[in-house]
């Protein structure tokens, strides 16, 4: 694998959208020694990023990114598609543009099948990190430490391009880069990310939730944490991945019904078997 550190001066990194993910990427790459440019439509965010030294240059216009070698687009799903299509003719020749959206099928289908102007490479991406908070003020350089970054390139994408991009990504703190298809990504994300958010939201909708104080500890915190959600973003992500997500919801409902029926019937043996199976699976996959 190439040694990115030998070529620090040769790369300029651009980040479009300086929220939690984009702001953290800018800070991580800047800490790694790269020249970083940032774009955000919010002037206050741009000013903060400049003042804090998270970027070398930033603007409320995307022109600031047009001389970048790598551009990470951390915008809302539909905004990503519009941003890439609109600015395609202006990206630097040979640039690699990577989106950071949590759903890949919708993004990749739209952009891989478009006749994009310009001589750059677009690759679907998803940094597997985050918190329940949002915005530039919540961003920090260590967000990606030990995390995975998923790439969903075209089947015929150059191995050299993927290798260089993967090496670059790891300088931001990511432990590994996973290369897969958009379809497989969306199926797995429905289970590992979207379903937990659905579960957390459904959980806190209980009429018992407002009275939890004094009766709750780690279990409540663990299950409810991601109910602190950004409705505009997640509602779109759920809809864009509705088939995969609804499949996982149906599986969850079926499993919960088994547990519910056994508990209601006072069937301790069935409950014991179901709980034992759950523990066995958890132990086997998370050793």
Looking up residue 272, the CATH number of its domain turns out to be: 1.10.3660.10
Quick one: 206 and 122 in the same domain? Answer: no
Residue 49 contacts by C-beta under 8 Å, 6 or more apart in sequence? 18, 23, 26, 38, 40, 55, 58, 136
The CA–CA distances, whole Å, from 77 to 17, 100, 220, 237 equal: 12, 9, 31, 8
**Final residue belonging to a domain, choices 150, 180, 210:** 180
Quick one: 264 and 169 in the same domain? Answer: no
pLDDT in tens, 42-68: 999 999 999 999 999 999 999 999 999
Quick one: 85 and 174 in the same domain? Answer: yes
Quick one: 199 and 99 in the same domain? Answer: no
The whole-angstrom separation of Cα 53 and Cα 127 is 22
pLDDT at 11 (0 to 100): 87
The whole-angstrom separation of Cα 181 and Cα 230 is 27
At 65, which CATH number?
3.40.50.720
User: If 0-12 CB within 10 Å is exposed, 13-18 middle and 19+ buried, where does residue 203 land?
Assistant: middle
pLDDT at 77 (0 to 100): 85
Domain that holds residue 146: 4-180
pLDDT in tens, 9-19: 578 999 999 99
pLDDT at 78 (0 to 100): 83
pLDDT at 2 (0 to 100): 46
Quick one: 43 and 57 in the same domain? Answer: yes
pLDDT at 134 (0 to 100): 85
pLDDT at 9 (0 to 100): 53
**Final residue belonging to a domain, choices 180, 197, 229:** 180
Quick one: 60 and 164 in the same domain? Answer: yes
Quick one: 193 and 131 in the same domain? Answer: no
pLDDT at 8 (0 to 100): 52
**Final residue belonging to a domain, choices 180, 201, 236:** 180
- CA angle 203/284/269 to nearest 5° reads 65
Quick one: 153 and 208 in the same domain? Answer: no
pLDDT-flagged residues of the chain (< 50): 1-2
Quick one: 146 and 251 in the same domain? Answer: no
pLDDT at 7 (0 to 100): 56
Quick one: 136 and 235 in the same domain? Answer: no
Report residue 256 CA to chain centroid gap.
28
Token pair in block for residue 107: 């993004």
Coil, strand or helix: which one is 147?
A: coil
Q: How many domains does the chain have?
A: 2
Quick one: 153 and 260 in the same domain? Answer: no
Quick one: 176 and 189 in the same domain? Answer: no
pLDDT at 1 (0 to 100): 40
């Amino acid at each position: 694998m190439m040694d990115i550190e030998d070529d620090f001066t040769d790369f300029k990194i651009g980040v479009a959208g300086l929220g939690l993910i984009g702001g953290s990427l800018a800070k991580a790459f800047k800490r790694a020694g790269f020249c970083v440019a940032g774009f955000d439509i919010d002037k206050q965010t741009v000013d903060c990023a400049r003042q804090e030294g998270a970027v070398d240059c930033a603007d409320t216009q995307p022109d600031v990114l047009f001389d970048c070698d790598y551009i990470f687009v951390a915008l809302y799903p539909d905004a990503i598609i519009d941003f890439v299509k609109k600015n395609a003719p202006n990206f630097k020749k040979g640039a690699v543009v990577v989106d950071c959206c949590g759903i890949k099928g919708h993004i990749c289908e739209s952009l891989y099948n478009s006749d994009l102007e310009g001589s750059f490479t677009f690759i679907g991406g998803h940094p597997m990190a985050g918190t329940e908070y949002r915005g530039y003020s919540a961003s920090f350089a260590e967000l990606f430490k030990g995390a995975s970054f998923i790439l969903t390139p075209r089947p015929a994408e150059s191995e050299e391009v993927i290798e260089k991009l993967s090496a670059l990504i790891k300088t931001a703190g990511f432990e590994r880069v996973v290369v897969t298809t958009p379809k497989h990504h969306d199926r797995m994300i429905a289970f590992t990310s979207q379903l937990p958010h659905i579960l957390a939201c459904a959980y806190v909708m209980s009429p018992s939730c407002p009275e939890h104080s004094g009766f709750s500890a780690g279990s409540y915190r663990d299950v409810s944490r991601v109910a602190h959600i950004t409705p505009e973003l997640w509602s779109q992500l759920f809809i864009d991945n509705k088939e995969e997500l609804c499949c996982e919801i149906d599986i969850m409902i079926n499993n919960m019904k088994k547990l519910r029926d056994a508990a209601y019937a006072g069937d301790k043996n069935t409950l014991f078997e179901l709980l034992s199976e759950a523990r066995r699976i958890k132990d086997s996959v998370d050793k």
